[in-house]
């Protein structure tokens, strides 16, 4: 008879052999989902003997992973900024790179009380919910064009007991915001930013499984940033902050958009790989035509 630990070691070995980078981590994610346990409970129970259904399910999950499906979709959950979030193929899997933007946003809110936050292209809700969890007196609107993503984001808000301060709103960033939205102290966004022509060349685990609507940023990848600067600044308070994630090599273009829109304080934030991954825009001088 095998213990959970035996299955864990076999799974880890198979993942390693297939070239999965963080094989131990992924094995724990897949097997705790197969056991229907939280990862910490799975680790506690490693010396126990699982039932046959666990053994079957763990094989199925391993096969799916080896066929290229991301562990987050198989397990149906993923951790972001310390929050365990439900994840499904309607949304992008939260990347650790996005914690850079999230930390910058949280840092800005430390100086504000009772702030209103708008998280555009929210997907799973990861940024907005991490902000809501870290800043107890802020109120957050999670916005997305996809209703299925919004339903998921709402479940994630409930799961973390944040729904009293978090609303979900259907909104298309490429169109103007609804008038009744009011103004926000902080707007965050990790919009689709991959140039359309580059999507085919992405890693198959991204290209074949993640939603293209969450990746495709138009011809040069910058369509959503253009729309945010052109249309969404009226819902940012004059003393507010806009915080955007961007792709490699895009930060220069974003600085230009920001400067042209009148922002005087533009701050870049680098990810662990040294790439300028997020920018915050503050100190906006409004032109006559804005007022
Ligand atoms: N960072 C994601 C990737 O490289 C893309 C996310 C996005 O387009 N917002 O796959």
Q: What's the pLDDT tens digit per position in 190-232?
A: 999 999 999 999 999 999 999 999 999 999 999 999 999 999 9
pLDDT score recorded for residue 288: 55
Rounded distance between C-alpha atoms, residue 236 and residue 43, angstroms: 45
| 34-49 confidence digits (pLDDT tens) | 999 998 999 999 999 9
Reduced to 3 states (helix: H, G, I; strand: E, B; else coil), residue 61 is: helix
Ligand 1 proximity of 190 Cβ (cutoff 6 Å): yes
- What is the residue with the minimal CA distance to atom 7 of ligand 1? 192
Ligand 1 proximity of 225 Cβ (cutoff 6 Å): no
Q: Which domains does the chain have, with CATH numbers?
A: 4-75 (1.10.8), 89-290 (3.40.50.150)
Ligand 1 closest atom vs CA 191: 9
Between the CA of residue 44 and those of 10, 31, 48, 52, 166, what are the distances in Å?
18, 13, 9, 19, 34
Cα of 178 to ligand 1 centre, how many Å? 27
Tell me whether residue 189 is exposed, middle or buried, using C-beta atoms within 10 angstroms of its C-beta: 0 to 12, 13 to 18, 19 or more: buried
| 105-162 confidence digits (pLDDT tens) | 999 999 899 999 999 999 999 999 999 999 999 999 999 999 999 999 999 999 999 9
Ligand 1 proximity of 192 Cβ (cutoff 6 Å): yes
Average pLDDT over every residue of 275-282: 98
For residues 256 and 279, the answer to whether their CB atoms sit within 8 Å is no
* pTM for this prediction: 0.95
Reduced to 3 states (helix: H, G, I; strand: E, B; else coil), residue 142 is: strand
For residues 240 and 187, the answer to whether their CB atoms sit within 8 Å is yes
Interhelix angle 98-109/126-134, rounded to 10 degrees, is: 40
H or E stretch covering 242: strand 236-245
Reduced to 3 states (helix: H, G, I; strand: E, B; else coil), residue 189 is: strand
């Amino acid at each position: 008879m095998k213990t959970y630990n035996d299955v864990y070691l076999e799974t880890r070995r198979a993942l390693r052999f297939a070239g999965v980078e963080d094989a131990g981590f992924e094995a724990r994610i897949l097997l705790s989902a197969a056991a229907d346990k939280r990862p910490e409970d799975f680790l506690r129970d490693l010396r126990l003997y699982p039932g046959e259904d666990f053994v079957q399910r763990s094989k199925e999950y391993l096969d799916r992973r080896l066929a290229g499906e991301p562990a987050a979709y198989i397990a149906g959950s993923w951790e972001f900024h310390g929050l365990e979030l439900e994840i499904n193929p309607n949304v992008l899997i939260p990347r650790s790179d996005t914690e850079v933007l999230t930390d910058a946003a949280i840092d800005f809110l430390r100086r504000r009380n009772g702030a209103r936050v708008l998280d555009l292209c929210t997907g799973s809700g990861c940024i907005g919910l991490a902000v809501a969890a870290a800043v107890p007196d802020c109120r957050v609107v999670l916005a997305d064009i996809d209703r299925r993503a919004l339903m998921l984001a709402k479940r994630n808000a409930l799961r973390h007991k944040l729904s009293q301060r978090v609303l979900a709103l259907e909104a298309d960033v490429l169109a103007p915001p609804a008038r009744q939205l009011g103004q926000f102290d902080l707007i965050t966004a990790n919009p689709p930013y991959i140039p359309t022509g580059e999507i085919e060349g992405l890693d198959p685990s991204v290209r074949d499984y993640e939603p293209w609507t969450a990746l495709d940023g138009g011809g040069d990848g910058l369509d959503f940033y253009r729309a945010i600067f052109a249309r969404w600044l009226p819902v940012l308070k004059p003393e507010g902050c806009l915080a955007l994630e961007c792709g490699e090599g895009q930060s220069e273009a974003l600085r230009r958009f920001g400067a042209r829109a009148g922002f005087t304080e533009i701050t870049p934030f680098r990810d662990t790989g040294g790439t300028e991954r997020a920018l915050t825009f503050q100190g906006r001088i409004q032109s006559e035509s804005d007022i």
